[in-house]
Amino acid sequence: MTARLGTRWMGFNLVETLLATTILSGSVLALAAISTNALTDTTLSRHYEMAASVIDEQLSMIDFLGIDQFIKLDQTEGIKVITLDPTEQDTEDSGPQYRWQVSTEYRNIDNLYLVTITVTWIERNRPYSVTAQTMLDGTGLAATTTSTSIPEAATE
């Protein structure tokens, strides 16, 4: 701020006004860039979460059926389209396609298999992927569950 000698008028000169405007504009642009990066990171995080969900779904199916039955069914790859809006139908254009691929390798130890699941997707023309590995035995939960019968009521 400047003050003139001999007068009571005080105010800002042009240089001070331009400098304050430049500082304010720079800070607004920096905040806009930070918020844009945060939204991009949130979207990417959501896609990684969806890919982990696809891996979990496939591991649950393998664990339920058993690896031997899973291999016999030839369910080693597929495409999953996940929409965020539950009212939308799953179509090719409704969201990113998560391509999953399962590979199994027998380990010759107690009927153990090394299971590797890879999920890939494309976001803004850039490929992303998530890979998970685990060891599972050859039997599934479906093979180990037994049905129990309820004894009929005795008649008098």
Model confidence over 62-80: pLDDT tens digits?
888 888 888 888 888 888 8
pLDDT at 26: 95
Domain locations along the chain: 12-143
pTM (2 d.p.)? 0.65
pLDDT at 99: 94
Model confidence over 83-111: pLDDT tens digits?
655 565 555 555 689 999 999 898 888 88
Contacts of 28 (CB under 8 A, 6+ apart): none
Highest mean pLDDT: which of 60-69, 134-143, 145-154?
60-69
Q: How far is Cα 20 from Cα 28, in angstroms, rounded to an integer?
A: 12
Average the pLDDT over each of 16-25, 69-78, 144-153 and give the range with the smallest value. 144-153
HEC secondary structure over 104-150? EEECCCCCEEEEEEEEEEEECCEEEEEEEEEEEECCCHHHHCCCCCC
Q: How far is Cα 53 from Cα 48, in angstroms, rounded to an integer?
A: 9
Judged against a pLDDT cut of 80, whether residue 60 lies above it is answered with yes
pLDDT at 149: 46
User: Which of the pair, 155 or 56, is modelled with greater confidence?
Assistant: 56
